[in-house]
Chains A and B, each alone.
Chain A
Amino acid sequence: MRASSDRERLFELAALGATEGLADDEARELLSTQHGARLAAALDEAAATVHLAYLAARSAQSDGAAERSEARVDELARPVGLHERLLARATAQLAGEQPRPSAARAGQRGAPRVLGQWAGWLVAAAAVVLCTVMAARLAELQEFARLGDSGVRRDRLVAEAPDAAVLDWTPLTHESAQGLSGRITWSDARNEGYMTFRGLAPNDPRDEQYQLWIFRGTDLAAEPHPVDGGVFDVAEDREVVVPIDAKLAVGRAGTFVVTVEPPGGVVVSDRSKLVALAQRAI
């Protein structure tokens, strides 16, 4: 009887979450069990498909003679250049490498020879400086666009989530972890977190990728199937902030482990290439 009422309660919370959202304590209650997490995912998806069905029907409903004039209404509602701004941000977010060296070389090659040897060198030098400055500035802007958002979100999580935990990374045995430091920020209630790394070696995503694993406890051997926290890459040997992409609702996270895996990540890690670990105090 008790189990039945518990399931009813979770069902109620999942429906509430899929339609008007949950308070932190309610979300924690719902996501603390696998059944609750599955319910939440199932009803979220159901609500999305219902919404799509209505939008599709409404779209088809307007398939008439006034279609062109109605479309103009949408143009007014949607800001000009939205698509371009979305693309710019996506490009910045997904960019992994900066074109600094090639830009500098291109400038050097472009120096005019007709100005004589010294003039040519001066122009070439100026072009190199200009290109280097511009490339560095571009790199800064892209870096901000790529990492700034995650950094802002991480800080916001700390500020807004009462249960947000900040844990230090402990470097493990893999060579990429030499000189590694940083921390992980995680909220059980929001199932959201961010990894901050300094000194984590850049990887070539064509060969290997980093992958995060989230354990509910602290005895790793007792959990053969931790939650996949997503694969990620590090492009430069400097501070990076990586959002955690938990594939499932974790509930209470006890331990976070980063491994090195084949491109795309794996479903089950053999745990042979251990990079870093962060663990809650028991």
Chain B
Amino acid sequence: MTLRNTRSATFERVVVEPTTGRRSLRGSRGVCLHRTQRPRSMSAHEVPAPSRMAPNPAPPAPLLPRVAAGDPEAVREVLRRYTSLVWSLCSAGSRDPHEVEDLVQEVFVDVWRSAARYDDRIASEATFIATIARRRVIDRRRRVGRRIEQESLEEDFLPGAEDDALRLVDVADEAGLAAAALSELPPERRHVLELSVVRGLTHREIASSTGMPLGTVKSHIRRGLSEVSDRLRARRASFGVEYEEDAR
């Protein structure tokens, strides 16, 4: 598995000009953010792109098998490495820190329970944990009713985005693959996918806010996820991991 060090990488973004559709690559280092100027949320036309930095020669050994074996040091390391990530994922839809903490606790309970079935040939630990976290978040939203406020979608309540610890998370190369796949999507589809996956809007809310027909929104989400899934499947195949069936 190829991991990238996002802390020291010159992370770059593909910026798609909305009018021309042309893509250009921009580096993010040297961007000076004033104290009152928060990092902007990702616009519909900006796509995270994989870094050009050379991959780490030796990816760190996975922690979850050690957790499954009862290694307390591995538990500490997982928390050190991924708490910020899980907090970011869980806090996107709520401003109540107690509620978010409950959710984070539930996610890690699931992570400890599921540690034994982690397979590093299939996904990175970050993706494995993020998948668990997203399921919990979605379950919670459905259980308590949707309370996503547009304000909470502002970047100042996406903690973790500015957090040192998040930078240290091993954002593995499948995240880079996702970024690459996103960069090739039509801007409209990418925008819909971001609203749905990252901001947590329902399909109907997206249709309402964008003016797109609901069927079009659903189609964009399905196709966008399918594109990413295809990339991940191809990556697994390159590692010799059998994938039983086409995702579509």
The 10 tightest CB contacts between A and B, nearest first, are A57-B48, A60-B11, A70-B162, A66-B33, A49-B178, A46-B228, A48-B130, A77-B159, A52-B175, A48-B131
With A19-B203, A47-B197 given, can you name 4 additional A-B contacts, CB distance below 8 Å?
A46-B178, A63-B28, A74-B160, A94-B70
Determine if A53 and B203 form an interchain contact, defined as CB atoms under 8 angstroms apart.
Answer: no
Determine if A16 and B108 form an interchain contact, defined as CB atoms under 8 angstroms apart.
Answer: no
Given A44-B131, A58-B39, also A50-B178 (CB < 8 A): yes
Q: Which of A24-44 contact B (CB under 8 A)?
A: 35, 38-39, 42-44
Determine if B247 and A39 form an interchain contact, defined as CB atoms under 8 angstroms apart.
Answer: yes
Q: Which residues of B contact A (CB under 8 A)?
A: 6, 9, 11, 13, 28-35, 37-42, 47-49, 67-70, 72, 75-76, 79-80, 83-85, 87-89, 91, 97-98, 101, 104-105, 108-109, 112-114, 116-117, 123, 126-127, 130-131, 133-135, 138-139, 141-142, 155-164, 166-167, 169, 171, 174-179, 182, 193-194, 196-198, 200, 202-203, 218, 221-222, 224-226, 228-229, 232-233, 244-245, 247-248
In the assembled complex, which residues on chain A have CB atoms less than 8 Å from the CB atom of B226? Answer: 11, 43, 46
Tell me, rounded to whole Å, the shortest Cβ–Cβ distance linking B229 to chain A: 4
Which of A16, A58, A65, A89 has the most chain B CB atoms inside 10 A of its CB?
A: A58
Given A71-B164, A74-B160, A91-B72, also A51-B89 (CB < 8 A): yes
A45: contacting residue among B76, B141, B229, B244, CB under 8 A: B229
Tell me, rounded to whole Å, the shortest Cβ–Cβ distance linking B238 to chain A: 16
User: Would you list 15 pairs from A and B whose C-beta atoms are within 8 A, ordered by A residue?
Assistant: A21-B142, A35-B245, A44-B131, A48-B134, A50-B198, A50-B224, A55-B171, A58-B48, A58-B155, A61-B11, A66-B32, A71-B163, A90-B112, A93-B109, A245-B114
The reply on A73 being an interface residue by CB < 8 A is yes
What is the size category of the interface that chain A forms with chain B? 35 or more
Determine if B32 and A47 form an interchain contact, defined as CB atoms under 8 angstroms apart.
Answer: no
B6: contacting residue among A21, A60, A87, CB under 8 A: A60
Determine if A57 and B42 form an interchain contact, defined as CB atoms under 8 angstroms apart.
Answer: yes
A50: contacting residue among B87, B109, B197, CB under 8 A: B197
In the assembled complex, which residues on chain A have CB atoms less than 8 Å from the CB atom of B112? Answer: 90, 93-94
Determine if B75 and A87 form an interchain contact, defined as CB atoms under 8 angstroms apart.
Answer: yes
As a 0/1 sequence over residues 72 to 83 of chain A, the CB contacts with chain B under 8 angstroms (1 = contact) are 011001110011
Q: How far is the CA of A243 from the CA of B198 in the complex (A)?
A: 30
In the assembled complex, which residues on chain A have CB atoms less than 8 Å from the CB atom of B233? Answer: 42
Determine if B70 and A205 form an interchain contact, defined as CB atoms under 8 angstroms apart.
Answer: yes
Q: Which of A90-115 contact B (CB under 8 A)?
A: 90-91, 93-94, 96
Tell me, rounded to whole Å, the shortest Cβ–Cβ distance linking B134 to chain A: 5
Determine if B197 and A79 form an interchain contact, defined as CB atoms under 8 angstroms apart.
Answer: no
Determine if A65 and B33 form an interchain contact, defined as CB atoms under 8 angstroms apart.
Answer: yes
B109: contacting residue among A49, A52, A149, A230, CB under 8 A: A149
Determine if B33 and A70 form an interchain contact, defined as CB atoms under 8 angstroms apart.
Answer: yes
Interface of B is mostly: helix
Tell me, rounded to whole Å, the shortest Cβ–Cβ distance linking A212 to chain B: 12
Determine if A87 and B222 form an interchain contact, defined as CB atoms under 8 angstroms apart.
Answer: no
The reply on A118 being an interface residue by CB < 8 A is no
Determine if B91 and A20 form an interchain contact, defined as CB atoms under 8 angstroms apart.
Answer: no
Closest to B203 in A: A20
The reply on A15 being an interface residue by CB < 8 A is yes
Tell me, rounded to whole Å, the shortest Cβ–Cβ distance linking A251 to chain B: 16
Given A21-B141, A43-B229, A61-B39, also A86-B116 (CB < 8 A): no
Determine if A53 and B218 form an interchain contact, defined as CB atoms under 8 angstroms apart.
Answer: no
Q: How far is the CA of A59 from the CA of B176 in the complex (A)?
A: 14
The reply on A225 being an interface residue by CB < 8 A is no
In the assembled complex, which residues on chain B have CB atoms less than 8 Å from the CB atom of A178? Answer: none
Determine if A86 and B108 form an interchain contact, defined as CB atoms under 8 angstroms apart.
Answer: yes
The reply on A221 being an interface residue by CB < 8 A is no
Q: How far is the CA of A90 from the CA of B77 in the complex (A)?
A: 12
Q: How far is the CA of A133 from the CA of B215 in the complex (A)?
A: 64
Determine if B34 and A66 form an interchain contact, defined as CB atoms under 8 angstroms apart.
Answer: yes
As a 0/1 sequence over residues 242 to 282 of chain A, the CB contacts with chain B under 8 angstroms (1 = contact) are 01010100000000000000001100000000000000000
Determine if B163 and A57 form an interchain contact, defined as CB atoms under 8 angstroms apart.
Answer: no
Determine if B225 and A56 form an interchain contact, defined as CB atoms under 8 angstroms apart.
Answer: no
Tell me, rounded to whole Å, the shortest Cβ–Cβ distance linking B117 to chain A: 5
Determine if B104 and A82 form an interchain contact, defined as CB atoms under 8 angstroms apart.
Answer: yes
Which of A46, A67, A89, A247 has the most chain B CB atoms inside 10 A of its CB?
A: A46
Closest to B247 in A: A42
Closest to B51 in A: A60
Tell me, rounded to whole Å, the shortest Cβ–Cβ distance linking B71 to chain A: 9
In the assembled complex, which residues on chain B have CB atoms less than 8 Å from the CB atom of A245? Answer: 113-114, 116-117
Which of A20, A39, A66 has the most chain B CB atoms inside 10 A of its CB?
A: A20
Given A21-B142, A73-B156, also A264-B116 (CB < 8 A): yes
Determine if B222 and A12 form an interchain contact, defined as CB atoms under 8 angstroms apart.
Answer: yes
Given A90-B75, A243-B113, also A49-B142 (CB < 8 A): no
